[in-house]
Amino acid sequence: MTPVTADPIISVRDLHRDYRRPRTSLRRPGLVVRALRGVSLDVAPGEKFGIVGESGSGKSTLLRLIAALEAPTSGQVEVLGRSVVGRSERDLGFLRTSLQLVFQDPMSSLDPRMRVRDIVAEPLLAQSHSRGEREDRVCEVLTAVGLGHEAAHRYPHQFSGGQRQRISLARALAPGPRILIADEPVSALDVSLRAQVLNLITDLVESFDLTLVFVSHDLAVVRHVCDRVAVMHEGKIVEQGLTADVYDAPQHPYTQRLVRAVPTLRRALAGATAHDLTASGHRDFPTTGDDPPRAPSRRTSERP
């Protein structure tokens, strides 16, 4: 499988995004946090592309820029061959139907006062479908995610965590997107539900012919789901390649540390201890011994 055979469906070039933190002094302006520092990547149509990184690595910022939820400081983002940078919301209609997002915590992304049928139909309202078409579509996507159509009349709080994530997926599928972006979709789920939702995502990507961008801190999950992966650290992509290659033979010291830190059953049963997960053996790496620096809400460098 060569990385890019057709024209990329998502193309990101030298993307930068700076955030200015609130000022803490009258005399000095607030600090600038460089959340993204020159990110470039291509995602081919039909590809399952993973983005791995820890908190503060810039992965969520990257998603927000690809989805044109905010504007980059500099750089280019093209989706389906059209630039999304600098467009008004009115001009982004194509993106809103062709690219959909699913987030980690379904409860905070589902309106508790709306019935499931209204939640799922909401993305269709902007597309001037008739009422009947909307109802058919809601029924269709609810069935596709494994919820019966009787689910349509209930409220989100009546569902378990795994079922709520199915509702989020149904809403994402409703407008018939070509790209599905999933931001930590299984991180809040228990082991048995995680397997069910991962299988469902794989099924949906196949049956709806989607391109998947899957963001996670869990390298093992990304390895299972994705063909290719980009590892992010401190606002940069430090390593990119086929998932199996990156996982089995990580090249960058950060990726090596990340792979090493993930506890696995096999290694644990072979005698690996908690100490073996830590970075003690990699003293040469700059952030060894402390938490990775993260974007806002951190104060490692300016304690009293």
Partner 1 sequence: MTTPVSAVLTVDGLTVHVGSTTLVDDVDLQIRGGERVGLIGESGSGKTLTALGILGLLPEGLVANGRVHLAGVDHDLVGASERQLAQVRGRHLAMVFQEPMTALNPSMRVGAQVAEALTIHGNQTERAARRAAVELLGQVRLPDPAALARAYPHQLSGGQRQRVVLAIALANDPALLICDEPSTALDVTVQAQVLDLVVAGVEARAAALLFITHDLAVVATVCERVLVMYGGRVVEAGTVHDVLTAPRHPYTRGLLAASDLDRTDERGRLVTIAGSVPPAGRFPAGCVFRNRCPRATVGCEEVPPWTGPDRDAGFACFHPHGPGA
Member of 143, 199, 207, 251 binding partner 1 (CB under 8 A): 199
What binding mask, one character per residue, do residues 173-192 give for partner 1 by CB under 8 A, x or -? -----------------xxx
Check binding of 117 to partner 1 (CB under 8 A).
no
74/278 with CB nearer partner 1: 278
Least distance from C-beta 53 to partner 1, angstroms? 9
Region of 69-77, 119-127, 145-153, 266-274 interacting with partner 1 (CB under 8 A): 266-274
98/208 with CB nearer partner 1: 208
Give the rounded distance of the alpha carbon of 243 from its chain centre: 16
Check binding of 265 to partner 1 (CB under 8 A).
yes
Member of 105, 122, 135, 218 binding partner 1 (CB under 8 A): 218
Check binding of 252 to partner 1 (CB under 8 A).
no
Check binding of 149 to partner 1 (CB under 8 A).
no
Region of 12-20, 137-145, 234-242, 269-277 interacting with partner 1 (CB under 8 A): 269-277
Check binding of 24 to partner 1 (CB under 8 A).
no
Check binding of 256 to partner 1 (CB under 8 A).
no
67/197 with CB nearer partner 1: 197
The sheet with strand 48-52 has its strands ordered as: 99-102, 179-183, 211-216, 48-52, 228-233, 236-242
Closest CA to 79 of 60, 61, 92: 92
- Strand 211-216 and strand 48-52: the pairing is parallel
Check binding of 158 to partner 1 (CB under 8 A).
no
Check binding of 228 to partner 1 (CB under 8 A).
no
Region of 23-31, 83-91, 117-125, 283-291 interacting with partner 1 (CB under 8 A): 283-291
How far apart, in Å, are the Cα atoms of 58 and each of 103, 115, 118, 211?
16, 34, 33, 21
90/303 with CB nearer partner 1: 303
Least distance from C-beta 116 to partner 1, angstroms? 17
Check binding of 289 to partner 1 (CB under 8 A).
yes
Amino acid identity of residue 271, one-letter, is G
Check binding of 154 to partner 1 (CB under 8 A).
no
Member of 224, 227, 241, 252 binding partner 1 (CB under 8 A): 224
SS (HEC) of the chain? CCCCCCCCCEEEEEEEEEEECCCCCCCCCCCEEEEEEEEEEEECCCCEEEEECCCCCCHHHHHHHHCCCCCCCEEEEEECCEECCCCCHHHHHHHHHHEEEECCCHHHHCCCCCCHHHHHHHHHHCCCCCHHHHHHHHHHHHHHCCCCHHHHHCCHHHCCHHHHHHHHHHHHHCCCCCEEEEECCCCCCCHHHHHHHHHHHHHHHHHCCCEEEEEECCHHHHHHHCCEEEEEECCEEEEEEEHHHHHHCCCCHHHHHHHHHCCCHHHHHCCCCHHHHCCCCCCCCCCCCCCCCCCCCCCCCCCC
Member of 11, 109, 163, 211 binding partner 1 (CB under 8 A): 163
Residues near partner 1, by CB under 8 A: 54-55, 160-163, 190-196, 198-199, 202-203, 217-221, 223-224, 257-258, 260-265, 267-269, 272-275, 277-279, 289-292, 294, 298-300, 303-304
